[in-house]
Structure formats: C-alpha cells, structure tokens
Amino acid sequence: MSILFSPLTLRGTTLRNRLWVSPMCMYSAADGVPQEWHHTHLAQFASGGAGLIVAEATAVSPEGRISPRDTGIWTDEQRNAWAPIVAAIHARGSKAGIQLAHAGRKASTWWPFSGRRGSVAAEDGGWPTLAPSAVAYEGFAEPVALDAAGIDAVVSDFAAATRRSLEAGFEVLEVHGAHGYLLHQFLSPLSNRRDDEYGGSLENRARLLLRVVRAVRDAAGGARAGKPGVWRGSPQEGVPLIVRISATDAADGGFDVDEAAIVAEWAVEAGADLIDVSSGGLVAHQAIEVSPGYQVPLAAKIRKTAGVPVTAVGMITDGAHAESVLAAGDADAVFVGREWLRDPHFALRAAHELGVEVDYWPKQYQRARWAN
C-alpha cells in the first residue's frame, strides 16, 4: 500500500494522490494575464499524474506583483484567461489550485532571466512597494509602511481575488505567507518594526495573515475549521484553503519554527485546512544548508506540535523519498517543484518505480507504461 498514491480529501474535494506541484513563478505574463506558456506548462503536469497543481504566486493587486511579468487575478480579464487553463487541468484529472500573493517590499523587481537585478525603476515600469515598516530588503528600494487603510485594502484584495479565482474554476486556494513576501514580512520581527496592533507580539504580527485567512475562507465558503457555525455552511463545505509559511527566517532574531507552529494552529482555527511548510526568503543574509528533504523536519515539527495537517517540500526528487516522508508521519502530502520541471510526468514515473498501479495513465501514453 502506498500512502503517496492514496487519495486525500480536503473539505469536499478529493485529490487523487498526495504528490503535488508547487507554485513556481514563470515570469511570463503580460499585465498580469497568463499566456499560452502557462496553459502548456500547467496542463502537462496533469497529464503526468499530479494530484494537485498550484499555479504560481498570483498577485491580488498590481502593486503585489514580484515583477512586472507576474500573473495576477485582480481583473476580470485575468480571471477569464485563467479559466481555460483550469479547464485543461481538470480535463486531465488533476485539481487546480492558485497561490494568492502580495510581494510587499519584494515587489517591483526584475525577473530572474531579465539580465538585471534589484528594484525596477518607475521609468522601466516599476512602482512604489508596500511593507509593514519602511525597512528595505537588502539591495531593493525602500518600501512605504502600510497605514490602517492600506492594510484593510490588502485584506479586501485577497477576498476579491478569491472570488475571481472561484469564478475561473480553481478548486483549491493557497495564501502565500512565506518566502519574505508581505504576509511573512508582517510575521517577522526583522521586517516588522510597527508599534501598533500589527507589531510587537506574535499575536499582533500574525494579525494580518489571520485577517486574510478569514477573509479568504469567508469568500470561499464553509465553516471555520474546528469551529462549525462561525462561518456559513459546514466544515465540509467550501473550497480547501492552504496557507504557505516559512517556518524559519534562518537569521538571528527572526521568525522561527516555534512561533510558526503557533501561527499554524491559529491559521487552521481561522479557516485553513492545510499548512504548506517552507522556509526562508525574508532576508538576504539567511543561513540555510540545502540538502535532500532539508525542510521536512520543519513540517514534521509543526505537524506534531500544532496537531495540524501539513505538506512537506524541499529537494524531494524521487517517489521513494516522497513515500518515506509520508510513511514516517512527517507530512500529509508532498509538494515538489524542480523535479516536475525536469520530468512533467513525475507522478507516473514515481508510481512505476514504487510498483503502484494507478488508473490515470493517459490512453495516449499506455505504450510507455511498462518497462518493455
């Protein structure tokens, strides 16, 4: 019996396996509108057997984009462009998710293959960035500290993006609270120097993330997890909601795994169904030693300490490794990034390597199903 290739049900949505595609930015959109590249890129993973495919960090507002070439979901045009991509994923048997994001002080930057680095100037199409405090990421332009009205607008933008995502057909939502982007910036004392209700204590630093989670859950339907009746409907209703967090800043004085476990529990109480555990991204001087499965212990600790379902990620490149993570009880599902880029049929290959029979091999690929 394979745990990796057993289904997982979140609310009323059943995912055919637990080997999922992480959101990975393609930096190939035009004015936030996904292009043909995104259609082919994402649909191929569904043909390759993925249980869930989460589209890249998609900005909830123009100023929330990491770069001018990021995808967005703040207009109806963007929603309409996402719809056929979602339909293609569904037609191939996978579930389609979207990562809702705001880059905060790491917005308005050059995309990786632009040949340039740092912040994009206004004359090149850049814009002023927003953050909890006027503290710049190393090498980037200084951001503007959000005021109360600006914070309220961020929450409203996430709610509006949720509604458009559902209209486009997405069946799973992920709130991006990791990798040094806006919600993570509020969580960490290294970037949050506020002295109001959004700064100081962990409860205050987590306030914006939890407001966003509640707003997204309200827009997505269903009761708050663990507390039926707080929101409309029952806990089984509504669209599954994942929250991605960086469980450590890997820098002195930063957000750490003990605080992350507390925030994870709060997020589930606020309406999240699953915590996607990653790490880092807040500061350039982070100290992270990378190796296969290097982030799995973070997921395991949060799962054990907070008692919430989690996903693991981080240099998991073969089916046996992914299976072992789940078998050890370290996570409930596995997100994989680069290996899917190397092999868009990673799930089919992993099933074959593990000796697992799956019934979603494309008919067109049956001749490759067996070794000879």
Q: Report d(CA 55, CA 43) in Å as an integer.
A: 11
How confident is the model at residue 263, as a pLDDT?
98
pLDDT exceeds cutoff 80 at 60: yes
How confident is the model at residue 368, as a pLDDT?
86
Q: Residue-wise over 333-368: b if at least 16 C-beta within 10 A, else e? A: bbbbeebbeeebbbbbbbbbeeebebebbbeeeeee
Q: Report d(CA 126, CA 131) in Å as an integer.
A: 16
How confident is the model at residue 228, as a pLDDT?
44
Stretch 44-57: mean pLDDT, rounded?
A: 98
Mean pLDDT of the chain: 95
Q: Are the C-beta atoms of residues 33 and 62 closer than 8 Å to each other?
A: no
Q: For residue range 206-235, what is the model confidence (pLDDT) as tens digits?
A: 999 999 999 999 999 987 665 544 444 566
Q: How confident is the model at residue 372 (pLDDT cuts 50, 70, 90)?
A: low
Q: For residue range 240-251, what is the model confidence (pLDDT) as tens digits?
A: 999 999 999 999
198 catalytic, yes or no? no
Q: For residue range 61-104, what is the model confidence (pLDDT) as tens digits?
A: 999 999 999 999 999 999 999 999 999 999 999 999 999 999 99
How confident is the model at residue 225, as a pLDDT?
62
Which position has the token pair 């609310």?
11
How confident is the model at residue 370, as a pLDDT?
72
How confident is the model at residue 230, as a pLDDT?
47
Crossing angle (nearest 10°) for helices 207-220 and 148-168: 30
Model confidence pTM above 0.85? yes
How confident is the model at residue 1, as a pLDDT?
87
Task: Set out the domains of the chain in order of their start, with CATH numbers.
Answer: 8-368 (3.20.20.70)
Stretch 112-116: mean pLDDT, rounded?
A: 96
Q: Are the C-beta atoms of residues 114 and 196 closer than 8 Å to each other?
A: no
Q: For residue range 147-200, what is the model confidence (pLDDT) as tens digits?
A: 999 999 999 999 999 999 999 999 999 999 999 999 999 999 999 999 999 999
Q: Are the C-beta atoms of residues 74 and 157 closer than 8 Å to each other?
A: yes
Catalytic residue among 27, 181, 198, 360: 181
